[in-house]
Amino acid sequence: MGWDVRGGSGGATIWIVVDDRESRIASVGALLAQMEGVTVTVKRLQTGDYFIEEKAVLERKRVPDFLESLFHGRLFAQARRLAESPVRSFLILEGPSSEWTQRHIKREAVQGAMLTLSVVFGIPVLRSQDEAETARLILYTAQQMQSVSSSTWRRPGRSPSGKRALQIRVLSSLPRVGTKRALRLLDHFGTLEKIVAAPLEELLLIPGIGQQTAQSIHWAVHEECTSYHM
């Protein structure tokens, strides 16, 4: 199945590619194609479900799919592929709050997965109630990209490659860290896992990591959780 539909007219055209496997099970692509100024193309994508404005890749997961991927060990393998993409990547988690509570999922399990996705892999996670809201979020993302200069979205020169470049990018996204402090953290601890597990006192031993920065890092990667209530 494949289709190429231009929606409406006026303003700069928004280009979105939908993976052909996604188009068979979701109406999000069809909803996007009905929006003014949007052109949707369906073809096979190597990574993600939606390729937006050639600047971002999106993975869309319903709550049951998210939980199945988490419990069967596929979620973080998918996250690694998204994180290694040369363009920005994010994930939309779609479904009402009742889908969490019906499955009696503990809050710490969900938040642990969210922290890993956002902090370790640097992948933002957005929440959506249904396919219509997902389509609106995708449109808004594309509009925001068009409103920002391409130099802001595209990294200068060659895209970072290799594990160390990915680790630096992830650490740099933490509050008050930046590239220089990320390099110092990696030189001291060696791995992201050790940085995440480090107590506040050990973070303070790193040159250039003061009390506020150490507290910000510790706050970002540690969270006390109780039972899950939406």
Q: What is the pLDDT of residue 11?
A: 54
Of the pLDDT bands very low, low, confident and very high (cuts 50, 70, 90), residue 97 is confident
**What residue ranges define each of the domains in the chain, with the CATH number in brackets?**
4-153 (3.40.50.10130), 162-221 (1.10.150.20)
- Which H/E stretch holds residue 194? helix 192-197
> What whole-number distance in Å separates Cα of residue 204 and Cα of residue 91?
33
pLDDT over threshold 90, residue 154: no
pLDDT value of position 148: 66
Percent pLDDT > 90 in the chain is 27
pLDDT of residue 160: 45
Model confidence at 116, pLDDT cuts 50, 70, 90, reads: confident
Task: Give CB contacts under 8 A, 24+ apart, made by 183-191.
Answer: 184/208, 184/209, 185/209, 191/167
What does the DSSP assignment read for 112-142?
A: HHHHIIIIIS---EEEESSHHHHHHHHHHHH
pLDDT in tens, 1-57: 343 444 433 457 899 999 999 988 889 999 999 999 999 999 999 899 999 988 899
